Chains A and B, each alone.
Chain A
Amino acid sequence: MIRAFFLLGTALAVGTSAMAQEQPHAAHTMPAPQSPQEQPAHDMSAMDVEKAASQDRAKDSAAQSGEMSAMDHAAMGHGTMAMDSAIPETAPPPEAFENPGFAADAFVGADVMAASRAEVIGEIRGPKVFWVQGDRLEYRARQGEDGYLFDLQGYYGGDLNKLWFKAEGEGAFGEDIESAELQALYSRAIAPFFDVQLGVKQDLTGPERTHLAVGIQGLVPYEFEVDAAAFLSTKGDLTARIEGELDQRITQRLILQPRAELSLAAQDIPELGVGAGLDSVELGVRLRYEFAREFAPYIGVDQEWKLGGSADFARLAGEDPSVTNYVVGIRFWF
């Protein structure tokens, strides 16, 4: 729990400090000295522009030829500092701000250009993406009844704002589904590698429960993918979950993925068989082969332990608090 909130806190702090540095552009407010070379605006037909421009150039070069030696190109290449200091970084001259704002408007039509601009801006801001990933869809061979697990997630959205969903569930063949949950989250990018996510989690099995979900998801140093979230249920229970995965490439297509999942609870939740503290730990390793990036079957082994109070609840229910699963499954996305 503490770690979950620590992680959340860290991510939020990173995001806040990043945002604190977002400032409006401060340039263009300084008055700038007009360059002596500036030509007065010519009022002329367009066909004359090139001619006039080249005349300007010719005049300028004549006027400037004496100044050539003054130019400091000796510093070129390596000592960029020295060179920069010779040329002041000032705002553009006032005439650079002259209207019109959009040069094509008068010729093409302001409405036509506005529509075209909006389209291009939309395109270049980047497309909205719809993405669904079956991270784990697997058959679990183990002592007693074999089982299955599904773990899907996906989103729709742009670079910074997305709608996420996460669905997870497991069970044993021949029995009712053991657990299943669905999350709907608003996701916002807060740092280069992190999103914060806020939304609801709905339990689809067991006692009816809806949770407020707050989490962060992203990539920590050393390329671990981390998904940490805290859940506050309508019954007032506070729980948390931290998942971490790491892709280790053995070859370009053969990938070993260790995975860890920790569940925590702030209090006993007897009707769910959950004890306060560290509720359960799951460690797994999966070896997948990427026939395509989007399609990779895998095999692996996954060990679950219920701990503390949760282990006691499990024993009372006649279950083994420690289960080893040999898994075979597929990972896919589209």
Chain B
Amino acid sequence: MSALSRRSFLSSSTGAVAATGLLTAMPAWARGAVSGTVARKGSDVLSGEHLTMSVADTLFTTGSRRGPGVAVNGTIPGPLVRLKEGQNLVVDLVNNSTHGTSIHWHGLLVPFLMDGVPGVSMAAVEPGETYRYEFPIRQSGTYWWHAHTLQEPLGHYGPLIIDPVEPEPHQYDRDYVVMLSDWSEMSPHEIMKKLKVADGYFNYNQTTWTDDYDMSGEDRRMWARMRMMPTDISDVSGATYTFLVNGHGPEDGLEYLFRPGERVRLRFINGSAMTYFNVRIPGTAMTVIQADGQNVQPVETDEFQIGVAETYDVIVEPTALAHAIVAESTDRSGMGVAMLTSRPGAKAPVPALRKPPLLTMADMGMGGMDHSAHGGGDTMGGDMSGEAAMAGGAMTMRDTSRLPETVKVGPGLDMVSANPVDRMDYPGLGLEDVGHRVLDYSQLVSHKPHAEVRQPTRLKTLHLTGNMHRYMWSFDGEKFSAVTEPIRFAYNERVRVKLVNDTMMAHPIHLHGHFFELVNGAAPDRQPKKHTLTVQPGSSAQFDLTADERGDWAFHCHLFYHMHNGMFQVVTVRPLAGGGAK
């Protein structure tokens, strides 16, 4: 980053109403304990080689909602950790809260002992304890950090930016973090119980006698026969979540300032527990330059869907007095909103929530059976061949003979994708026909060719499985039993991993400690590197992995309540040969 842009980044918070809160004279933790107090919204900046991050129970309020939170250094999100590629980092994690904690450095290449996952690489840091992280910074880009405990959905997360040694490939005048998240006044335990006992508890977009969904009676009966919901899109919705931008609810009036003519870099981070967002800035195009911290060849688009735990950096050149930054939840139950504005207080109109989408044939794993698979836009009613497939296939929604014997079949598995297809070119549910450009994975191309182009020597297939009704989630039909048989890789082995989604939900699958390359049609040396990958409902997706980081690594769905209800495994990379120590 140039000195100019760096300077404007740091000064950007002055003048803005709430701004991003990125710089204040004194960090919150230095101003005293925050327990029992209300967390401040937004992040302070932490830089340097030795940081202290203090976790504390707190209250959080947004709009009319008020409830428990967990703040790090007094804010939600916690501090922006801004580092320089090549530096060393020491972080003292101080637990002043009443529960076990940890920090996982999401997307960072670290020695596995520094990865921050209780039960895998460390024990939870108990109340009153301090834990020291220590590792070199080997990369650059936009990342984030978060607790790998029940504290995560309460506010224990924050942005992480690493400035590269080499100059950035793109010029820009301002550099902002746009950290999206979801917060509920309901505790995570309570949310978990509601999901367990009442399917669709948070869904107020269900089909009813009086809805205006474009579905025939026959379609409705078909879904009822399957005991599934075409509106099963977000398990937890705006019914309890307020969607936050840098900790600010839609009513808080967060503003990002720019001067007309400037190029503004926005670093979108989806730090939410459960929410996929559709992001757009009406009136201005976005040029995507980075995905999951890795530079990609610039792609201009009007909207993109960001899965939980993914990051996208875009550059915009706003022209109007103000533009709304809109992060609409995929189930259209709410949105995070901030203003990109050239004058404090100037606002652009915020578009209304769009009509909630419906799941399609392709989302039920019937993708290969009709031509809607890749367009994906047809609802069940609109597609005769899909209709026929279902009419004949109603009894085969769970044809377990299609599963390899490595998949355990039991009550925790309610669906088997009959014909899962690759949907790297799918923009995301509800974005198939919005009438403007929408990013999809097939458009991501690595900015620079990477050295690793070996043909994978073996294929590893994993099924994403679940039972929405019982709220059970798993890999290969088994909840977290990884400690008895992990997913094994040999050190430096090159493997193609194929994920088959036997559920009707999108799962953002995250592998710790590594980047993998999406098999998305790009040339072998240009396949985009990612740390988190959305596997679309009823579909398959593949990535190539060089297992070049020794140790034990968490591998899980990043939907918080999916992970905590079983969709979690451990990946081991062996031999260890002393590679685990710091």
Residues of A within 8 A of B (CB): 18-19, 21-23, 25-28, 32, 35, 37-39, 41-47, 49-50, 53, 56-58, 60-61, 64-65, 67-68, 70-71, 73, 76-78, 80, 83-84, 87-90, 92-98, 100, 102-104, 106-108, 112-113, 115-117, 119-121, 123-127, 129, 131, 159-160, 189-194, 219-223, 248-252, 293, 333
Report the nearest A residue to B548, measured CB to CB. A53
Q: Residues of B contacting A27 with CB < 8 Å? A: 406
Q: Residues of B contacting A117 with CB < 8 Å? A: 119-120, 483
- Docked-complex contact A104 and B442, CB < 8 angstroms: no
Assuming A41-B577, A50-B109, A77-B422, is B454 touching A60 (CB within 8 A)? yes
Encoded as 1 (CB less than 8 Å from any A CB) or 0, chain B from 560 to 580 comes to: 000111101000111111111
Q: How far is the CB of B461 from chain A (nearest CB, A)?
A: 6
Encoded as 1 (CB less than 8 Å from any A CB) or 0, chain B from 196 to 234 comes to: 111001001111111000000000010011110000000
Q: Residues of B contacting A222 with CB < 8 Å? A: 221, 224-225, 227
Stretch among B74-82, B335-343, B520-528 lining the A interface: B520-528
Q: Residues of B contacting A61 with CB < 8 Å? A: 451-454
Q: Residues of B contacting A90 with CB < 8 Å? A: 458
* Complex CA–CA separation, A53 to B110 (angstroms): 13
- Docked-complex contact B564 and A124, CB < 8 angstroms: yes
Q: Residues of B contacting A107 with CB < 8 Å? A: 113, 580-581
Encoded as 1 (CB less than 8 Å from any A CB) or 0, chain B from 385 to 403 comes to: 0000000000000101000
Q: What DSSP secondary structure best describes chain B's contact surface?
A: loop
- Docked-complex contact B480 and A221, CB < 8 angstroms: no
Encoded as 1 (CB less than 8 Å from any A CB) or 0, chain B from 95 to 134 comes to: 0000000000000010111000011111110000000000
State which of A44, A96, A102, A131 has its C-beta within 8 Å of the C-beta of B483.
A102
- Docked-complex contact B124 and A87, CB < 8 angstroms: no
- Docked-complex contact B193 and A112, CB < 8 angstroms: no
Q: Residues of A contacting B113 with CB < 8 Å? A: 104, 107-108
List 22 contacting pairs A-B, 8 Å CB cutoff, sorted by A. A22-B410, A35-B490, A35-B494, A49-B111, A60-B452, A68-B525, A87-B459, A88-B459, A92-B488, A93-B493, A98-B575, A102-B483, A120-B118, A124-B568, A129-B196, A160-B411, A189-B410, A190-B411, A192-B467, A193-B414, A221-B226, A248-B209
Q: What is the interface residue range for chain B against chain A?
A: 35 or more
How many A-B residue pairs lie within 8 Å, measured between CB atoms?
Answer: 293
Q: Residues of A contacting B524 with CB < 8 Å? A: 68, 71, 73
Please list the 10 inter-chain residue pairs (A to B) with the smallest Cβ-Cβ separation, ordered nearest first. A120-B119, A61-B451, A46-B581, A116-B123, A189-B411, A192-B414, A96-B488, A124-B480, A249-B208, A96-B490
Q: How far is the CB of A287 from chain B (nearest CB, A)?
A: 12
Using A104-B120, A117-B120 as known contacts, list a sample of 13 further A-B pairs with CB atoms less than 8 Å apart, ordered by residue number in A. Answer: A28-B488, A84-B459, A103-B551, A107-B581, A159-B411, A160-B411, A192-B412, A192-B413, A192-B467, A193-B469, A221-B225, A252-B204, A293-B201
State which of B412, B491, B580 has its C-beta within 8 Å of the C-beta of A46.
B580
- Docked-complex contact A191 and B411, CB < 8 angstroms: yes
Q: Residues of A contacting B481 with CB < 8 Å? A: 121
* Complex CA–CA separation, A103 to B575 (angstroms): 10
* Complex CA–CA separation, A116 to B131 (angstroms): 15
B437 part of interface (Cβ distance < 8 Å): no
State which of A65, A106, A193 has its C-beta within 8 Å of the C-beta of B580.
A106
- Docked-complex contact B520 and A95, CB < 8 angstroms: no
Q: How far is the CB of B102 from chain A (nearest CB, A)?
A: 10
* Complex CA–CA separation, A189 to B479 (angstroms): 15
Q: Residues of B contacting A35 with CB < 8 Å? A: 457, 490, 493-494
Counting chain A CB atoms within 10 Å of each CB, the highest count among B204, B479, B548 belongs to: B548
State which of A38, A58, A65, A116 has its C-beta within 8 Å of the C-beta of B493.
A38
Assuming A84-B498, A124-B564, is B455 touching A92 (CB within 8 A)? no
State which of A53, A70, A293 has its C-beta within 8 Å of the C-beta of B492.
A53
* Complex CA–CA separation, A45 to B552 (angstroms): 18
Q: How far is the CB of B371 from chain A (nearest CB, A)?
A: 12
Q: Residues of A contacting B306 with CB < 8 Å? A: none
B259 part of interface (Cβ distance < 8 Å): no
- Docked-complex contact B576 and A103, CB < 8 angstroms: yes
- Docked-complex contact B400 and A80, CB < 8 angstroms: no
Q: How far is the CB of A181 from chain B (nearest CB, A)?
A: 23
* Complex CA–CA separation, A49 to B573 (angstroms): 13
Q: Residues of A contacting B525 with CB < 8 Å? A: 68
